[in-house]
Amino acid sequence: MARRQGRKPLLSGNWKMNHDHFKAIAVSQRLVFRLSPADYDAVEVSVHPPFTDIRSVQVLLDNDEPPLALGAQSCHWEDSGAYTGEVSPAMLSKLGVRYVIAGHSERRRYFDETDEIVRLKVAAIFRSNMTPILCVGETAEERDAGETVTRVVSQLESGLQGLEREQVAGMVVAYEPLWAIGTGRPASPSDAQAAAVAIRSAVSQRFGAAASEGLRIQYGGSVNTETSAALAEMPDVDGALVGGASLDADTFADIVVAFRKQRASRG
């Protein structure tokens, strides 16, 4: 098991296509109110609103200066150009966005994002000085066929292709089994740990031990207040990517606090 010292857990709220900008302000305000310096010292927290909300949340965070990180759910891979309807990494960076999700399974499934597109996005996010959260995960069929590690490592290797060791050390990978997303059936903490170990060892082979020890690995898929503490016990799981349960500020804050407390109790 890898040592986790030095890796600050990251708990990210992926709001998907929910909350207009008024609601986004209210939820962010409540979250800021609920989280304490003890939380921020121990874990990092990011929110990933829809594009139309980002400016509003940025203004709120700028004024209050809480250490809540602003995130985005996706972006294009060019800085500008004739790509109707798209948003560039450079635009997000200007808004103070720190983390951008790349290759979420909903993007892969509903918008035909291939491994190649995801790779371009990861590189573009780095170019604009932001941190990618690269999502990988297997389907139920792949899991039943015993292909979890093969699938996850192949998505991972493709997404990391061409990156420097230092970039890999500073980025985030989210293990999100498709069968656990939005189903209310989370993977067991030990399954999440096993996938995280497989990811870390693949990274170690390609990019070296320092990169694999620096890389933060989140688990995502039906994370809730009950599962958060159990996840925090897993030494290679460095946080969570939370969908549905992050839409409500109090529920998300409870998830953050449960994770932080459990981690603290383990030392």
Which residue in this structure is represented by tokens 């250490």? 67
Question: Among 106, 138, 142, 176, which one carries the catalytic annotation?
Answer: 176
What distance in Å separates the CA atoms of residue 244 and residue 223, rounded to the nearest whole number?
Answer: 8
Q: Which is nearer to ligand PGA, 95 or 247 (CB)?
A: 247
CA distances to 31, 121, 248 from 40, rounded to whole Å, are 12, 29, 19
Residue 104 among the catalytic residues? yes
Interface residue with ligand PGA among 132, 177, 220, 239 (CB under 6 A) is 220
Comparing every residue's Cβ against ligand PGA, the nearest one is: 243
Binding to ligand PGA in span 242-261, by CB under 6 A: 242-245
Query: Does an H or E element contain 220, and which?
Result: strand 216-220
Count CA atoms within 13 Å of residue 177 on its CB side.
26
Q: Which is nearer to ligand PGA, 19 or 169 (CB)?
A: 19
Q: Verify binding: residue 176, ligand PGA, rule CB under 6 A.
A: yes
Interface residue with ligand PGA among 103, 177, 221, 239 (CB under 6 A) is 221
Return the range that interacts with ligand PGA (CB under 6 A); candidates 53-61, 63-71, 136-144, 174-182: 174-182
Q: Residue 189: phi, psi to the nearest 5?
A: -55, -35
Q: 99 with 46: CB under 8 angstroms? A: yes
* Residues that are catalytic: 104, 176
Query: Can you give the binding site for ligand PGA, defined by CB under 6 A?
Result: 14, 176, 181-182, 220-223, 241-245
